[in-house]
Structure 1
Amino acid sequence: MATIKPSLAKGTRDFSPREMEKRNYIFNTLKPIFKKFGFSEIQTPTFENLNTLTGKYGDEGDKLIFKILNSGDYLSKVPGAILDANDSNSLIPHISEKALRYDLTVPFARYVVMHQNEIALPFKRFQIQPVWRADRPQRGRYREFYQCDVDVVGSDSLLNEAEFILIYAEALSKLGLKDFNIKLNNRKILSGIAEIVGKPSLIVDMTVAIDKLDKIGFDGVKNELLTRGFTEEDIRILEPIIALQGNNLQKLEALKVVLQHSTIGLKGISEMETVFEYIQKFGQEALLENIVEVDITLARGLNYYTGCIFEVKTNEVQMGSIGGGGRYDDLTGMFGLKDLTGVGVSFGADRIYDVLEELDLFPPSDNDRTQLLIINFDEAMDTFNLPILQELRAANIAAELYPSPVKLKKQMSFADANQIPYVLLVGEEEMQSGQLTLKNMKSGEQQKVSKQDLIRILG
């Protein structure tokens, strides 16, 4: 049998111990902030029923869902006419009933519906788990990646939107980012724009196209709009709206004029103003002046957003969005629970990781690593070394005994390779005197210490 060369599936990665330290640094920075704002952690399964996920992300999103083939001879029960049609879309329901989760929001909505009699509303949760998308891998875009979601369901207060802005600002600042923007828009404003253009039924087509502005430019957006049913006249009306300039208040005032005949558009503007008022009441006017940006081109092409929408980008590194979200008033209605509003945002942990790595913002290796390696000269010394090892661990000092009495050079190389700062050398002399030899691997200095001194130095 030929030897198979091991490889990773495209868009996935392995993580070394040091990389896991860095990833956990991100998660451990975010979690206390989420908890401080009143959020509790949940988890949901890696895969969901396919019909739970489909129809929630738009046609483009549905195409990116990783389907799981049914077990067994899954083709045997497929009608012959469907097999002969050679059409994968009609075949999928017959061969796949499960799928890897695409995001954390839809599974959360399913969770809320299923546990509605167990939770108190408003329910505030955060969730840090991997998701999967059959996307084209590229820098900052993976097929398997972690999301850090924070959501509230059961509250229509725009105080929630304001607090998400505060969470973003505090979390990204604590991670060391200094120059980032929290972009804000409202799907009601976009609906109002579609209304005045005369194409309210094409709101999704319009938002999907506009959302690509920073990737394909206005000419690209124009061409896509033309293929989606918009006319040159429609685009003439849209262009100055998309190109709005000025500070946040100036943009909103300009939109009031443009959308003066659109009730839903004016409601979207009013919601944005209310969010800004909350930020001011928190005493965080500087956020509105320096970080929060009204961006009418922000659409986030997901069908379930109905109100305020967010997107976060850093200006320190060339990278796509590192966070985003919005309000989804009718999402749980898809699962039979009507009139339960929700709003949430997500942190793109993998992109944030890449940004921190490029900017060298990760702290030095933490103290969770092994602090001391006890050199193994002879297995007969286990009766002396193992009680020392146990005392060190009882004192919450990460320590280990090299498992076998190999050459000293190999054991020292192991300590160097694993960045263990100290080694303990225990021979016959040390056993008799009780004075142990402690070596600092960085300086090379050695000193004689008692067990009590050892714990004090490393503790």
Structure 2
Amino acid sequence: MASKPSIPKGTRDFSPAEVAKRQYIIQIIKNNFEKFGFQPIETPSFENSETLMGKYGEEGDRLIFKILNSGDYLAKANVAYLDDKDSTKLTSSISEKALRYDLTVPFARYVVQHQNDIEFPFKRYQIQPVWRADRPQKGRFREFFQCDADVVGSKSLWQEVELVQLYDTVFTELGLKGVTIKINNRKILSGIAEVIGASDKLIDFTVALDKLDKIGEDGVKKEMIEKGIGAEAIEKVQPLFNFTGTITEKIEKLGLLLASSEEGMKGVEELRFICENVTKLGLSSAILDLDVTLARGLNYYTGAIFEVGPPREVAMGSIGGGGRYDDLTGIFGLKNMSGVGISFGLDRIYLVVEELNLFPETVTATSKGLFINYGDAEAFYALQAIQKLRAAGIKVELYPDNAKMAKQFQHADKRNIPFAVIVGEQEIALNSFSLKNLVSGEQVSLDFEGLKKALL
């Protein structure tokens, strides 16, 4: 007996209703991307390993899915590494490609590769799947979609202001009220590390600090100690673990804390510009909050950092994030190309909208009417009408088989099709249609124009 088929952990199949709901979210995001002036691009599902590795930090690199070389991939393997069972070093000789971890690094590669064909500043959006070898859990998958919007070729902080507005616009249209857009600045984190004398441990410091909401204050301190950050330095950052007040008050506190750090003060002024202008322009439903522990452990951020949390009544991780990455294209040989971007986590947004019951009923609407099949002559008569109705934008279909009436009506019921269109010998003779409301049971006889009006 054949074993029951399955799919890999962290991946999912989607039913027609689920796909319809996902497309509803994607369409809202896509429409707003274009409304804000972003243009679409697409990149391959996999990249050369050298394009991806080393761009996400040590933790990120471990989560990249490697693709084995075609054919006898062990033929060119380094024998010494193979004998030593050194998987880290062996990987580079048996795997030259990898599934993309996000859309930002491939975008940077795209910009460098096509720089002579791009008009800068270049505003692009991209809606495609990414893969991460993470431990699957609620809201965390190994295959998931990202919806990114990025601008390269401009250092203007107005871009950050507009990206906050873009987040607010999309979540407002989705009906998600109380979404929190957290903001910080990588220069502030660098400044804090400098002030406490831990500049050489910046990456370890930020990666640990970024986990505050997951492992708590004690957990962060423990990880910092394990990474070689001294107790005295940790004591100096103690105020960050309970950093409260309005955005303005937090910025003033940071100004005092980082007064001796030139880099840190640059971050304070950038934050002040973004937050003040967002506040003046106003947000429809989102909440902007300054979170000094926000680090987003990725090596390529150099300025503003964003992370979006769902409404408080939903237990879910971040549903979006991004930031400024002045140096990213420099990794691929294109210097002085500043960029900033944000991402929407489609899969988590779906779960939040579903939990809050915010999907409109029309999203999963199926065909408006099912034409009952009585035989070939009746089916041909029905298809002539169906052709015209579809041309008018009305979703209708013909049951393909001349099956029992009960079976055809049962099919319409299971598909949530609200109307059945009956065309028998009598209807053909009168050039008419019998329309039955499958909810109320009411049945009426109509000409084509009446049918069309009833199904609109």
On whether the aligned pair clears a TM of 0.5, the verdict is yes
> Is 1:437–2:434 an aligned residue pair?
yes
Q: Is the 8 A contact 1:379 1:404 kept in 2?
A: no
Deviations 1:271-316 (A, max 9, x none): 00111233245x31788xx711111000000000000000110212
Residue deviations 1:232-261 (CA, integer Å, cap 9, x gap): 111100111332221111111111111111
Alignment of 1:3-82 (within 5 A): 3-82=2-81
Deviation of residue 427 (structure 1)?
0.9
Residues in 2 aligned to 1:196 and 1:366: alpha-carbon distance in whole angstroms: 53
Q: Is the 8 A contact 2:131 2:144 kept in 1?
A: yes
Partner of 2:399: 402
User: In the alignment, what sits opposite 1:416?
Assistant: 413
- State the identity as a percent: 56
Farther-moved stretch of structure 1 (35-44 vs 373-382): 373-382
> Quick one: distance in 1 between partners of 2:366 and 2:417?
7
Q: Distance in 1 between matches of 2:188 and 2:294?
A: 11
Quote the Cα distance in structure 1 between the aligned partners of 2:68 and 2:85.
17
Please report how far the alpha carbon of residue 396 of structure 1 lies from its aligned counterpart in structure 2 after TM superposition: 1.5
CA contact (8 A) 1:179 1:316 kept: no
In the TM superposition, 1:40-439 aligns within 5 A as 40-281=39-280, 283-284=281-282, 291-314=287-310, 315-366=312-363, 369-439=366-436
Residue identity opposite 2:432 in structure 1: Q
SS in 2 for 1:366: helix
TM-score (norm 2): 0.97
User: Could you say what secondary structure the match of 1:117 adopts?
Assistant: helix
Match of 1:455 in 2: 452
Residues 371 and 420, structure 1, Cα contact 8 Å, conserved in 2: yes
SS of equivalent residue, structure 2 residue 235 = helix
Distance 1:78 1:176 in 2: 53
CA contact (8 A) 1:372 1:399 kept: yes
TM-score (norm. length: structure 1): 0.97
Q: For residues 446 and 210 of structure 1, what CA distance do their matches in structure 2 show? A: 66
Gaps of 5+ in 2: none
- Cα distance in structure 2, aligned partners of 1:411 and 1:15: 25
Query: In structure 2, what is the Cα distance between the partners aligned to 1:21 and 1:262?
Result: 51
Question: What is the identity, as a one-letter code, of the residue corresponding to 1:242?
Answer: F
> 1 CA distance for matches of 2:221 and 2:32?
41
Aligned equivalents of 1:223, 1:366: Cα separation in 2: 48
Instruction: Return the offset for 1:367.
Output: 7.7
Amino acid at match of 1:306: T
Distance 1:366 1:139, change over 3 A: closer
What is the Cα-based RMSD across aligned positions, in Å? Answer: 1.4
Q: Which blocks of at least 5 consecutive residues in structure 1 are unaligned?
A: none
SS at match of 1:292: strand
Query: Distance between the aligned counterparts of 1:185 and 1:280, measured in 2?
Result: 16
Give the partner amino acid of 2:449.
Q
1:393-433 residue CA offsets vs partner (Å, 9 max, x unmatched)? 12211111111101111111111111111111111111111
The whole-number CA distance in structure 2 between the counterparts of 1:425 and 1:94 is 66
Could you say what secondary structure the match of 2:272 adopts? helix
8 Å contact from structure 1 (residues 64, 135) kept in 2: yes
On the 8 A contact 2:217/2:241 being kept in 1, the answer is no
Which deviates further from its counterpart, 30-39 or 354-363?
30-39
Quote the offset at 1:221 in angstroms: 0.3
Bigger drift between 374-383 and 159-168 goes to 374-383
The DSSP-based 3-state class of the residue aligned with 1:296 is coil
Q: CA deviation at 1:368?
A: 6.0
Amino acid at match of 2:238: E
Would you say the 8 A contact 1:135–1:143 is kept in 2?
yes
Shift of 1:95: 1.0
Q: In 2, distance between residues paired with 1:337 and 1:292?
A: 33
Partner SS, residue 251 of structure 1 = helix
**Conserved? CA contact 2:21–2:363, under 8 Å:** no
Conserved 8 A contact 1:21-1:365: no
Aligned pairs, number: 455
Q: Which letter does structure 2 place at the counterpart of 1:324?
A: G
Taking a change above 3 Å as real, the CA distance of residues 222 and 396 of structure 1, as seen in their structure-2 partners, is same
> Which deviates the most, 27-36 or 219-228?
27-36
